[in-house]
């Protein structure tokens, strides 16, 4: 029994797999991502009648391209929901097969969404950079799906980290909103900064973990569960 549990020890969600901070961050990003999408779907289908003017303006901006927004966030929601199963159920190919087409849709629609970037070119530049990194990582993972399992796991983890960066932008935005009385910054002025900060945090933290001795050891165990 103990041996079986150890064999299934996942990279990010598991207790024995990663440092507590990284596990907490992983699950926090999952929860925030799901909450953000559900809130946006609700705002698109049943616009709130009251709320802060800034939030009302943002909701109106997304409603101006509601179909594109839904085409982006619903596949993103499915991707995020499947991510834990990718790590927890390494013996099954179902989640992995779905992640690739879902990720492609998310990436393509993200480029289209950048046309309507609230934060202008600062936000748009962050989306173009990190979305390209996401699609590149996803493509490399796809390329290695029948090759080196370690490389596939590394590249897929990079892609997942980038996508979950949208969740990390939320508390960063919250800090900007909280400091608005002092900074006098409008969402259009700090959204781009928040995007760069949030996506960079996820990308750098996961990359450092992947390059660490602990990360390399965990990837090796995942690639060779029987060893």
Six token digits for residue 107: 């990436």
- Give the model confidence (pLDDT) of 129-158 as tens digits: 999 999 999 999 999 888 888 999 999 999
Q: How far apart are CA 100 and CA 104, in angstroms?
A: 6
| Collapsed DSSP state (helix, strand, coil) of residue 215 | helix
CA atoms within 13 Å, Cβ hemisphere of 197? 14
Give the closest residue to 167 by CA, choosing from 20, 12, 36.
36
- Give the model confidence (pLDDT) of 116-129 as tens digits: 998 899 999 999 99
The domain ranges of the chain are 2-223
- Give the model confidence (pLDDT) of 192-204 as tens digits: 999 999 999 999 9
């Amino acid at each position: 029994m103990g041996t079986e549990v150890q064999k299934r020890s996942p990279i990010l969600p598991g207790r024995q797999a990663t440092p507590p901070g990284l596990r907490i961050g992983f699950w926090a990003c999952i929860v925030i991502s799901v909450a953000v999408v559900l809130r946006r779907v609700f705002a698109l289908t049943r616009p709130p009648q009251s709320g802060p003017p800034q939030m009302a303006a943002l909701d109106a901006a997304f409603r101006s391209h509601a179909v594109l927004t839904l085409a982006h966030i619903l596949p993103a929601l499915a991707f995020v929901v499947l991510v834990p199963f990718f790590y927890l159920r390494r013996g099954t190919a179902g989640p992995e097969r779905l992640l690739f087409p879902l990720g492609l849709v998310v990436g393509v629609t993200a480029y289209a969404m950048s046309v309507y970037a609230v934060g202008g070119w600062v936000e748009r530049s962050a989306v173009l950079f990190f979305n390209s990194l996401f699609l590149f990582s996803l493509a490399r993972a796809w390329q290695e799906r029948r090759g080196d399992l370690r490389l596939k796991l590394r590249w897929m983890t990079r892609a997942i980290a980038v996508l979950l960066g949208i969740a990390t932008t939320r508390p960063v935005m919250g800090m900007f909103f909280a400091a608005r009385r002092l900074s006098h910054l409008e969402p259009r002025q700090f959204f781009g900064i928040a995007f760069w900060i949030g996506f960079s945090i996820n990308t750098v933290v996961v990359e450092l973990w992947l390059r660490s001795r602990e990360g390399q050891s965990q990837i090796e165990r995942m690639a060779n569960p029987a060893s």
